[in-house]
């Protein structure tokens, strides 16, 4: 996959080979928080340093699994995720005006 903005897919189905599926099997993350975290400059810099390819930088599960992250408690993750979700909604409302 080439990298860009992470998304939470709220559907059941299959994914194209241009996508990378990340599951939180151990339930360590609030999904909204994880989505924000995966799109931070820190994570994007880690992706760039591991990416392969000369024209289009590509990632795979082995490269992504080598990244390191720090994260707060679940309670804090939920609050941070809600904050950014509210902020995104507010930005959308202002853009519509």
Spell out the per-residue pLDDT of the chain, length 97, in tens. Answer: 456 677 777 777 777 777 778 888 899 999 889 988 988 888 888 888 888 777 777 777 888 888 888 899 999 999 999 999 899 899 999 998 7
The whole-number pLDDT of residue 1 equals 45
C-alpha Rg value of the chain to the nearest Å = 15
φ/ψ of 81, rounded to 5, equals -60, -45
The whole-number pLDDT of residue 3 equals 62
The whole-number pLDDT of residue 61 equals 80
- CA–CA distance, 90 with 97 (Å, rounded to integer): 11
């Amino acid at each position: 996959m080439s990298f860009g903005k992470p998304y939470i897919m709220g559907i059941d189905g299959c994914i194209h080979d241009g996508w990378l599926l990340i599951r939180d099997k151990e339930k360590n993350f609030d999904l909204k928080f994880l989505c924000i975290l995966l799109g931070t400059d820190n994570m994007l810099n880690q992706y760039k340093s591991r990416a392969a390819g000369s024209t289009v930088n590509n990632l795979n599960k082995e490269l992504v699994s080598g990244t390191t992250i720090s994260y707060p408690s679940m309670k804090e993750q939920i609050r941070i995720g809600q904050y950014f979700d509210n902020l995104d909604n507010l930005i959308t409302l202002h853009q519509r005006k």
